[in-house]
Amino acid sequence: MRNALFETRPLAGAIGAEIRGVNLSANLSDGMVAALRQALLDHLVIFFRDQDLPPDRLLALANRFGTPNEYPFVKGLDGYPEVIAVTKLPDETVNFGGVWHSDTTYLQEPPMATLLIAREVPPVGGDTLFANQYLAYENLSERMQALLSGLRGIASSTKADASRTREDRIRTDGTAEPRKVLIAEHPVVRTHPETGRKALYVNVAHTVGFAGMTEEESAPLLSFLFRHQIRPEFTCRFRWEPGSLALWDNRCAQHYAMNDYHGYKRVMHRVTLAGDRPR
């Protein structure tokens, strides 16, 4: 699909599109930024190839789409605290972000979007999967939707599924308080503030239970939701190359970094954009 400003090539029926004909390091017009933001709302994650974006330009680009914020557990690059290195070294076995999640939902105001650019990638492997949480909600029965509408999920930064994926980076680049516990309560079904659509807003990395229920009581329903929300027909898969950039909407999409490249180095740079309190 082509509009006046760029070409859009969907990756899958459910989610994701590659944008061609845009140089993100250029001084983007307001019209271009608005068109790209609309593409993000339409496709939930958009991808670009062959982008020359060192940290200063990456941060400048991020500022065109929102307000960059700092990750609570890993220090940013020198001079660019909002830009963190997402790295796996050849001798490491666990990768950063290697579990289905929406970024840092244990914050009271989780990030609305994330930019991730590839600096060094393995010869094979290291893809990232994305899942459409609008479709996850819409493909539930009406009775299940009604049940979930009254529930709130408890998200914790210490859930083992996620905390182990950042241990290597905390060891080498951790902040002054790497073991602090962050907990937030959010609706299980959130309404996107821009599109008005409803999306599932729990994830296996951070959600530990439902408010007012024990973890044991919460577990059976959460187990179902965690399986349901990443059904293959809700997903797309992206193969990285150096200079590839992804911009995704954390309010309605989840992602998963594949850990299938042991013995190779993978380096990405990430910026998250400040969001609002889910409703």
If pLDDT is split at 50, 70 and 90, which confidence band does 178 have? low
From 37, 206, 266, 270, the catalytic residue: 270
pLDDT at 176 over 70: no
Active site residue 206: no
Distance CA 16, CA 56 (A): 26
C-alpha distances out from residue 216 to 99, 120, 159, 213, 226, Å: 21, 42, 15, 8, 15
Q: What is the CATH number of the domain that holds 187?
A: 3.60.130.10
Distance CA 175, CA 272 (A): 17
- The closest alpha carbon to 114, from 234, 258, 274, 276, belongs to 274
Strands 45-48, 17-20: parallel, antiparallel or unpaired by DSSP?
parallel
Token digits for 184?
A: 């937030």
Residues 56-106: tens digit of each pLDDT: 999 999 999 999 999 988 899 999 999 999 999 999 999 988 999 999 999
For 163, the domain range is 7-273
- Counting the structural domains of the chain, the total is 1
Q: Report pTM.
A: 0.93
Q: Is residue 1 part of a domain?
A: no
- The closest alpha carbon to 269, from 72, 90, 120, belongs to 120
Q: Which amino acid is at 114?
A: T
Write down the pLDDT at residue 272: 98
Q: Is residue 123 part of a domain?
A: yes
Active site residue 262: no
If pLDDT is split at 50, 70 and 90, which confidence band does 159 have? confident
Q: Is residue 130 part of a domain?
A: yes
Q: Which residues contact 24 (CB under 8 A, 6 or more apart)?
A: 48, 51, 53, 57, 61, 245
Q: Is residue 192 part of a domain?
A: yes
Distance CA 235, CA 16 (A): 8
Q: Is residue 17 part of a domain?
A: yes
Residues 115-142: tens digit of each pLDDT: 999 999 999 999 999 999 999 999 999 9
Active site residue 270: yes
From 43, 190, 255, 266, the catalytic residue: 255
Strands 152-156, 266-273: parallel, antiparallel or unpaired by DSSP?
unpaired
pLDDT at 165 over 60: no
Q: Is residue 279 part of a domain?
A: no
Active site residue 197: no
pLDDT at 169 over 60: no
**What are residue 170's phi and psi, to 5 degrees?**
-65, -40
Are 244 and 48 in contact by the 8 Å Cβ rule? The answer is yes
If pLDDT is split at 50, 70 and 90, which confidence band does 4 have? confident
CA triplet 252, 11, 246: central angle to 5 degrees?
A: 60
From 103, 168, 173, 249, the catalytic residue: 103
Q: Is residue 2 part of a domain?
A: no
pLDDT at 161 over 80: no
CA atoms within 13 A on the CB side of 57: 13
pLDDT at 160 over 80: no
Q: Is residue 278 part of a domain?
A: no
If pLDDT is split at 50, 70 and 90, which confidence band does 180 have? confident
From 37, 43, 101, 186, the catalytic residue: 101
pLDDT at 29 over 80: yes
